[in-house]
Amino acid sequence: MSDLFIRRVTALGHGRCDVLIQDGRIARIGSLAAPPDVEVLDGAGQVLLPGFVDAHSHLDKSLLGRPWYRREPSRDLQRMLADERDLRRSPDWDYEQQIGTNVDVLIASGVTHTRAFVDVDTDAGLRGLEAMLAIKHRYADALTIHVVAFAQSGVSGRPGTAELLDQALANGADCIGGIDPCLVERDPVAHLDLVFGLAQRHGSAVDIHLHEPGPLGAFSASLIIERTRATGLGGKVVISHPDFLGGIPAGQASALIEQLVDAGVAVTTNVSAGDPKPPLREMLAAGLAVGAGCDGERDSWAPFNRSDMLLKTNQLAWRHGLGTDDELELALRVATTGGAAVMGVTDHGLAPGCRADLVLVPGEVVVEPVVAVPAERTVVKGGAIVSRPGSAILRTPNGEQPRQG
C-alpha cells in the first residue's frame, strides 16, 4: 500500500485538481500541496479516471500469442463449443500462459478489476479454474480478479459438470456462471435451481450468460428475478448480455427493468454489434446497475473483442448514440464504477476513502479519451504505479522483478 501525489490532473467528476494517496487509498482531492517525500505523478494534460472494470472477461479463451486462428464460415454453436474444447486439449495449450498474456494486456490498458469467467466442463475439468486461481493470486497487487466457474458447455447434457462446478466454488471461485437456461440447457427451472443452489451453498455470486432473444430472454430473466428474491441473493446476481431487453415491447422492457432493479439483479453488456440493442439510457435512468466487459479477446468465437475497456467505452457510446459530453461521461461511469457495482466492489471511485485504483490517459477534458482512445495509459493499483505508457507491468505481483515491455 503506497503513497502518491498526482498533480494537476483533470479528474472525472472533479475537474482540474490534485490527488493525495496515502496507504493505498485516496486521502484528499482538491487544490493541494504535495507533502514532502512522496512520489509525485505529473497529471498535466492527463485525465484521471477510476480504474476500468472489465466486468465480463474470458481470459481462459484468449489465443493471444498463439498462431492466427482461422475462422471458417457456418459453424453452429455446438461445433464452436467443441472446437474450443479441442483447442484446450492441444498438447501446446498452457492455461496459465494464455491467461497471463491476456492479464498483461488488461493491466496495461488500465483495467484494475475484472470478473473472469473460466470454463468448467467435463473435458477441461478444473484445469482452467486452477490456473485462473493461480493467476488471481500471483497478480493480486496489480489486478483484482473475481473468478467465475462457468458452465460454458452446459450442465444438463454433460453429466459430472454440476459436481465440477460445486468443486470449483469449494476451491475458491467467487461466482457461479450459468448459461442460457432455455436454449442451451433446455430446462430453465432445473438449471437456475442448480445455479442458485450452488450460490447459496457457497455464499457465492451469480452471473448468467443470457443470449436468448427478446421474449425468451425476458422469460428466463423473470425466472432469475424470482430466484434472486427467493434466495435473498439480491445484489449478488448479474445477467450478462441483456440484449433481450431491446427485443420486447418498450412497455414490457420498462416493467422488467423495474423488476431487475427491485430484485437487485444487475446487468453487464459486452456491447454487441447485433440488433436489437438494449435500451441503455432507460436502464441507467431507472437505476439499474450496468457494467461493461471486453468479453474474450482473440478467442475462437469471434475476432472483434479487444481487452481494452477504453475502446469498449468508445464502442458503448458509439453504439448507443451517447454523443454529448454528458453522455460520454455516463459511458465512462458504466466502464468504471458501474462495473464495480456489478462486481460488488464498494470502494471504487474518485472519492476520499476509495482504493487508489486509477488510470491516467491523455486528454484535455475527461471525455476526450473516449473519443480518441489513446494508447498511452498510466495505471495505479493500491496507490502504486503498475503500468506506464509503452511498457508492460512495472511492478509485477508480489514484488517480483519488474518487466519492461
Contacting residues toward a second copy, per CB under 8 A: 67-68, 70-73, 273-277, 298, 302-304, 306, 314, 317-321, 323-328, 364-365, 367-368, 370-372, 375
Closer Cβ to a second copy, 44 or 273, answer by number:
273
Minimum CB distance to a second copy, residue 236 (Å): 32
SS3 content of the chain, % helix, strand, coil (to 5): 35, 25, 40
Q: How far is the CB of 323 from a second copy (least distance, A)?
A: 5
The residue behind cell 486461481 is: 133
Report in angstroms the alpha-carbon separations of 183 from 15, 77, 219, 243, 249: 47, 11, 12, 15, 21
Secondary element (H or E) of residue 22: strand 15-22
C-alpha–C-alpha distance, residues 4 and 2, integer Å: 7
* Pick 152 or 300: Cβ nearer a second copy: 300
Minimum CB–partner distance for residue 50 and a second copy (Å): 21
382, three cell numbers: 493500491
- Judged by CB, which is closer to a second copy: 194, or 361? 361
Give the whole-angstrom CA distance, residue 401 versus residue 389. 18
Tell me the torsion sign for CA atoms 97, 100, 105, 108: negative
Do residues 380 and 356 touch, judged by C-beta distance below 8 A?
A: yes
Q: Based on the number of CB atoms within 10 Å of its own CB, is 229 exposed (0-12), middle (13-18) or buried (19 or more)?
A: middle
Instruction: Quote the CA–CA distance of 354 and 12 in Å, as a whole number.
Output: 14
Task: Give the shortest CB-155-to-a second copy separation in angstroms.
Answer: 28
How far is it between the farthest Cα atoms of the chain? 64
Residue at 157: amino acid letter: G
Cell 509525485 locates to: 40
Enumerate residues 6+ apart whose C-beta is below 8 A from 399: 141
Please give the distance of CA 266 from its chain centroid, rounded to a whole number.
13
Residue 30 or 304: which CB sits closer to a second copy?
304
Q: By C-beta, is 205 or 332 nearer to a second copy? A: 332
CB of 318 to a second copy, least distance (A): 5
Cell of 154: 452446459
Instruction: Give the span between the Cα atoms of 293 and 58, in whole angstroms.
Output: 10
Cβ-based nearer residue to a second copy, 119 or 297: 297
Q: How far is the CB of 275 from a second copy (least distance, A)?
A: 6
Shorter beta-carbon distance to a second copy: residue 79 or 186? 79
Residue 71 or 403: the one with the smaller Cβ distance to a second copy is: 71
- Which of residues 270 and 396 has its CB atom nearest to a second copy in the complex? 270
Which is closer to a second copy, CB of 223 or CB of 365? 365
How is the beta sheet containing 265-269 ordered, strand by strand?
A: 52-57, 111-119, 144-150, 175-179, 205-209, 237-240, 265-269, 290-292
Minimal distance in Å, beta carbon 327 to a second copy?
8
Q: What cell does 41 get? A: 505523478
253 is written with which cell numbers?
422492457
For the bound state, the minimum distance from the C-beta of residue 47 to a second copy, rounded and expressed in Å, comes to 11
State the nearest-atom distance from the C-beta of 360 to a second copy, in Å: 17
